[in-house]
Amino acid sequence: MQFLSSIFIAFTVLLSSILPLASAKIYHISLPEQALPGENITVTVSSSSYIQNWDDFGIIWGLVGENHGCEGCVGQEIGYENLYGNNTLGNSTYSVQLPNTTTRAYTFVAAVPYLVGASGETGIHYFNQSINLISNAKVRV
């Protein structure tokens, strides 16, 4: 029995040295304040170290008309980025194509489903930022 305990302790120590103590958790997005309908924009996603095992599964990109009153929703889904198994600390950039839609003010939404390992808690974090879709004529001026 003591032999099995020693093996278990050795295995636990080995496993803890291999596994990361912290993992990446998305905390912020940034994107241009204005863009053209139908164009690709670059979205920067910032993540930092988190003390527990944290898995962000993906990012659902969405666009909601400003003043729509849509708390906790994505609006029109415009894309998805799979993050499973990609725990990158720091900044990552993604190209997101905007829909060819009406020029006006919108809220750009990034919905990030997550799992906290120790507690098993799941949820969705919503990151919102204003973006104005403008016409070509306004860009040239």
So what's the pLDDT on residue 117? 86
So what's the pLDDT on residue 22? 53
DSSP per residue over 62-119, as a string?
EEEETT---TT---EEEEEEE-TT----EEEEEEEEPPS--SSEEEEEEEEEEEETTT
Residue in this structure with the two tokens 């894309």, named with its chain if needed = 79
Provide the phi-psi class of 10: left if phi over 0, else alpha when psi is between -120 and 50, else beta: alpha
pTM of the predicted protein model: 0.79
Helix then strand then coil, in percent of the chain rounded to 5, is 15, 50, 35
For 22, which DSSP code?
A: S
Lowest mean pLDDT among 12-16, 47-51, 102-106: 12-16
So what's the pLDDT on residue 21? 45
The identity of residue 51, as a single letter, is: I
* Average pLDDT of the residues in 33-38: 97
Q: Which domains does the chain have, with CATH numbers?
A: 22-140 (2.60.40.730)
The identity of residue 34, as a single letter, is: Q
Alpha carbons 25 and 27: distance in angstroms, whole number: 6
Residues 118, 123, 129, 131: is their CA dihedral positive or negative?
positive
